[in-house]
Amino acid sequence: MVWNQTKPCPNDNFLKIGFHFQPPKAYPHPTPQTKTLASIQYNITPSPIFLTSIAEAVYEKEKPGVTWPKQLNAPLEAVDPEIADIIELAKAPQWKGLELIPSENITSLSVMQAVGSIMTNKYSEGYPGGRYYGGNEYIDMAETLCQKRALLAFRLDPENWGVNNYGTRSHCGHLSHGYQTDTKKISAVSIFFETMPYRLNESTGYIDYDQLEKSATLFRPKLIVTGASAYARLYDYARIRKVCDKQKAILLADMAHISGLVAAGVIPSPFEYADVVTTTTHKSLRGPRGAMIFFRKGVKEINKQGKEVQS
């Protein structure tokens, strides 16, 4: 059955968990930041239905000068009912089904509002304050805030850690770690880099750290990756760090599947040991589809000439 904005969803719970995109009647009180940004610009007195009233006030104020085609402000179901219907159809399996794909999660309406905003109109290659294109002041503001929050979420000192957002990656985690079969290199990483896997001790279900160390001694890796799509144990980061130090290798922790647990402080954090930590934002963090790369700042090593090498 197809249902859309004009036909209510067949299940009450569906509405309750925020899957139906009827515009909410009232938004919560604004945060101090939203108050300043929008109310200063448009001289609006904030109210409990703040966001709705801003939209209306902005429209009223700008209306005389608006000449753009109606279509730009029309909702999806009016402009493209076929796509709108497909989106509505996609809700059903997410609502009714039990999805056992570990890399997926269900995000919130507010996240979808943020990623489906006018920010999508901007090209913004580069970093805050150093973009290729002009007019990125609000993108910079948003990204700087995200960086601040990302460091806060993992209790990191900005003196020692930096973070960049990473829009897309080419292959799923285990593949991006260099997965290949006996006959075929599956991922771009395994094509462009020489990789060597390490395995579990199948009788215990834990990573075979002794074998990892032996392989590293032979292989001399420049980088060792921890993190997996389906490892239901804690990682011994200290042990892998020791192997990295012996090999002068970088330790990259891909915490994509566990970053929500790390942020909540309920499992050990890789930040104590890793040089680089990566995570997607859409798994246990329940954010939008995206990724982040955290990097340790400061002195990486003292070289043979006795000089400090920065990370």
Strand ranges (E), the chain: 126-127, 130-131, 161-166, 200-201, 206-207, 223-226, 250-254, 276-280, 291-296, 299-302, 308-310
Contacts of 23 (CB under 8 A, 6+ apart): 52
CA dihedral 103, 109, 115, 120 (to 10 degrees): 140
Distances (CA, A) of 247 to 135, 190, 214, 222, 272: 45, 21, 11, 8, 19
Residue 308: active-site member: no
Does position 169 interact with ligand PLP (CB under 6 A)? The reply is yes
Does position 5 interact with ligand PLP (CB under 6 A)? The reply is no
Measured from the CB atom, the residue of 30 and 173 that comes closer to ligand PLP is: 173
Q: In the range 35-94, which residues lie near ligand PLP by CB under 6 A?
A: none
Q: Shortest gap between Cβ of 304 and ligand PLP (angstroms)?
A: 35
Provide the token pair at 211.
């074998």
Does position 300 interact with ligand PLP (CB under 6 A)? The reply is no
Longest dimension (CA), the chain: 74
Paired strand residues for 206: 201
Does position 174 interact with ligand PLP (CB under 6 A)? The reply is yes
Q: Shortest gap between Cβ of 103 and ligand PLP (angstroms)?
A: 3
Give the span between the Cα atoms of 174 and 196, in whole angstroms.
13
Measured from the CB atom, the residue of 139 and 277 that comes closer to ligand PLP is: 277
Does position 114 interact with ligand PLP (CB under 6 A)? The reply is no
The one among 103, 105, 180, 311 contacting ligand PLP by CB under 6 A: 103
Give the span between the Cα atoms of 169 and 161, in whole angstroms.
22
Measured from the CB atom, the residue of 156 and 277 that comes closer to ligand PLP is: 277
Residue of 12, 82, 125, 159 marked catalytic: 125
Does position 287 interact with ligand PLP (CB under 6 A)? The reply is no
Residue 280: active-site member: yes
Contacts of 226 (CB under 8 A, 6+ apart): 235, 237, 240, 251, 252, 253, 254, 270, 274
Taking residues 247 to 276 in sequence order and writing x for each that binds ligand PLP by CB under 6 A, - otherwise, the string is: -------x-xx-------------------
Residue of 42, 59, 123, 138 marked catalytic: 123
The one among 171, 185, 242, 300 contacting ligand PLP by CB under 6 A: 171
Applying CB under 6 A, the site for ligand PLP has a residue count of 14
Does position 147 interact with ligand PLP (CB under 6 A)? The reply is no
Strand ranges (E), 24-142: 126-127, 130-131
Provide the token pair at 249.
């290798």
Handedness of CA 268, 272, 169, 146 (dihedral sign): positive
Contacts of 77 (CB under 8 A, 6+ apart): 4, 5, 6, 84
Residue of 226, 237, 254, 273 marked catalytic: 254
Residue of 131, 241, 283, 296 marked catalytic: 283
Measured from the CB atom, the residue of 41 and 94 that comes closer to ligand PLP is: 94
Residue 289: active-site member: yes
Cβ–Cβ < 8 Å for 256, 280: yes
Q: In the range 205-234, which residues lie near ligand PLP by CB under 6 A?
A: 227-229
Catalytic site residues?
123, 125, 254, 280, 283, 289
Name the residues that contact ligand PLP, by CB under 6 A.
Answer: 103, 169, 171-174, 176, 227-229, 254, 256-257, 280
